[in-house]
Chains A and B, each alone.
Chain A
Amino acid sequence: MEFRLSAEQELFKRMIREYCEKNVEPRSREMDDKEDGIPDEIIKGLADLGVFGIVIPEKYGGSAPEGEEMAYANIAVQELGRAEMSMALPVYTLLCLGWGFLIAKYGTEQLKEEVLPRVAAGEYFTGIATTEPGGGSDIANIQTSGVYKDGKFIVNGEKVYISGVLEAIEQREGGHITLIRTDPGAGHRGFTFIFIPAKLPGISYSVYEDIGRMALSTGGLAYKDVEVPEHYVLGEVNRGFYLNMEGFNLARILVSAACVGMAEKALEISRDYVKQRVLFGRPLAKFEGISFEIADDHAKLEQVKLYLQYTAWAADTIYKEPGFITQRELSRMVSICKMIAPKLGAEIAQRCMTHLGAFSYTKECSLGRGLRGILSYVVGAEGGYHIQKLIIAREFIGDEAVPYR
């Protein structure tokens, strides 16, 4: 049993931290205020460090630590969560990593050659477009259709609450892996997972006004007779549902990592503050009402962090040792992380704000950005809080706890 990071992982972590302390943290407020995306030079700097290439084999321009991709991605995204607490940058990055990993695993050779080197270089965004106006949690009910004709799928439908719409179309370039219904009568066995470059003719978009993570856009995508070449299909036609679940496992691990990173930084901000802020003649840290709260949160966060590391290891191990556990078993572990990390992170950010007092309610302080950003992952985004409970109940209790059966 080995719990510590390897020397290489420690070094990679420190390289990202050093980069972020110098280049990301000082600009985190500006990024949130400007609402104009993540500066190119930050994406480029992280790409130069190999962050976007963590999941991409050397052959396609990446530097994947084969068999440890998720362990490294977990480390990187936690660091980004610490540095950019609104979570725009960590989420932008984790979408590229989680869904980029799926492309590296299941994409056609042509798709991999076309997209992956550009993802690794930080020029190209890859995200996920599953949710529809009718909902996102009930994935088996997705309506967007894809009709095969002459080597292409003709896609029609609408996707909503999609991260990275502007990034994929205007600010940079990119696309979203999208779940489409290709065999209408076959239930969840009639879906295909397909990558759709966001600039294909027939795609229009809208942008929503979010309350947090302001440097990353959220919006809707409408597909009107969009012709998507069949080499963009991931895995097999009509087997997309399972791949989508597999991709969610990867992305949810990394969402949890972003939340853990943010919460860890919030606690450190609070810790440093209560040691030097003097009230009634003694540092705030001397009051148990404060120090015990911080101790509680630290303890809970450490548990999640360790369980997350374990889950990332399990995700890597599935690919190294097929049959080690099933994707469904992994999804139980992943949902434990995704259920706890965002909610705990939001609670920690809020409690830390009470330690810092009125200053924390100003934009000068990063805690408010952290709270606004992380709420996105409590309410939804890669599966909301209650859906994680449903998955855990389904896997632990059994079908008796499943509302859709």
Chain B
Amino acid sequence: MNIIVCMKQVIDLEQIRIKPKTREPVIEGLPFLFGDFEKCALEEAVRIKEKHGGKVTALAVGSPKLRDTIKEALAIGADEAIILIEPIFQDSDAMGSARVIAKAIEKVGEYDLILLGDSSADEYSGEIPPRIAELLDLPQVGFVREIEVMTDNDQMTDTKKVRVVRDMEDALEVVEMALPAVVGVTSELNTPRLAPLSAILKASRKPLNEWGPDDIGATADELGPKALVVEVLSNLAPIQDRKGINYQDVEEGVAEVVKALQQEGVLTQ
């Protein structure tokens, strides 16, 4: 089972400060990490490899900081990594990024499963999984909290399959899908392991490939500023306002809070 895990480095969200006056986030100079969903996707890929064999390739688009960030993926258990760090890739919106990722996946060629976080920890738009599935013409399921590789392969066609459980909030949906396929996962999937020192030290010895636009056959028209289809209008922290009202008695306090929230229009009557 060959698995490609698409990973996005995001700034350490816990370290973001908000400018009190303008509500703008201060993100310059913050360290990069992988988001929880990505880590779960990678963890699952490594577990599947440990059980069924195969190869795990980590694939990421982002700033040159990825040269460092990607080492975590290699330390956790990816066999190889591909990073796309040229500036043209970073100026893309979700559509452009999906195009880059899809082209890189096509270049990798041999894969059974594409795993990725259902949404990124920073922008949380959830666009990438369906977009790359569409570009690659593959089946796709999102909000996945369980993955099981089915070993009773269809003898006639030798098709590999997975059974996944998708979180529908009020219900769980079980889906069987033929591979290759794209699966977007949530953090309910597993608890990602931490990389021990021995694996961290060995990570640098694993293959780390840097691919540019020519490597994946992408042109400037398809990428970056020229290909934007999404316009960001505003990116500000929500307005916070403290009323500073204290209630001593819990019973009475709850009723008062509900009444106050109704008056504010936060709760409907």
A→B interface (CB under 8 Å): 7-8, 10-12, 14-15, 18-19, 48-51, 53-54, 58, 63, 65, 72
Contact = CB atoms under 8 A, between A and B. Distances in A.
B194 A8 contact: no
Contacts of A14: 33
A107 B22 CA distance: 62
A187 B223 CA distance: 77
B194 A53 contact: no
Chain B interface residue number, banded? 10 to 19
B194 A7 contact: no
Interface stretch (B47-55, B79-87, B178-186, B196-204): B196-204
A8 B74 CA distance: 11
Given A8-B201, A8-B204, A63 B196 contact: yes
Contacts of A58: 198
Nearest to B192: A18
Given A8-B71, A11-B71, A15-B200, 19 more contacts: A7-B67, A7-B68, A7-B71, A8-B204, A10-B31, A11-B72, A11-B75, A11-B195, A12-B200, A14-B33, A15-B195, A15-B196, A18-B194, A49-B196, A50-B196, A63-B198, A63-B201, A65-B197, A65-B201
Nearest to B12: A14
A19 B246 CA distance: 37
Interface in B133-159: none
9 contacts: A8-B71, A8-B203, A8-B204, A11-B200, A12-B200, A15-B195, A15-B196, A18-B194, A53-B198
A48 B196 CA distance: 7
B197 A54 contact: yes
B245 to A, nearest CB: 15
B68 A49 contact: no
Contacts of B200: 8, 11-12, 15, 50
A262 to B, nearest CB: 21
A365 to B, nearest CB: 22
A50 B200 CA distance: 10
B237 to A, nearest CB: 16
B201 A49 contact: no
Contacts of B201: 8, 63, 65
B197 A50 contact: yes
A49 B71 contact: no
B229 to A, nearest CB: 34
A49 B198 CA distance: 8
Interface string B124-136: 0000000000000
Contacts of B33: 14
B198 A51 contact: no
A54 B203 CA distance: 16
A49 B197 CA distance: 6
A53 B31 CA distance: 27
Interface in B33-75: 33, 67-68, 71-72, 75
**A-B residue pairs, 5 tightest by C-beta:** A50-B197, A63-B198, A7-B68, A50-B196, A63-B197
Interface in B199-225: 200-201, 203-204
Question: Most chain-A Cβ atoms within 10 A of its Cβ — which of B71, B195, B196, B200?
Answer: B200
A54 B195 CA distance: 14
Contacts of A10: 31, 68
Nearest to B71: A7
Contacts of B204: 8
Given A8-B203, A8-B204, A50 B71 contact: no
Nearest to B68: A7
Contacts of A12: 197, 200
B206 to A, nearest CB: 13
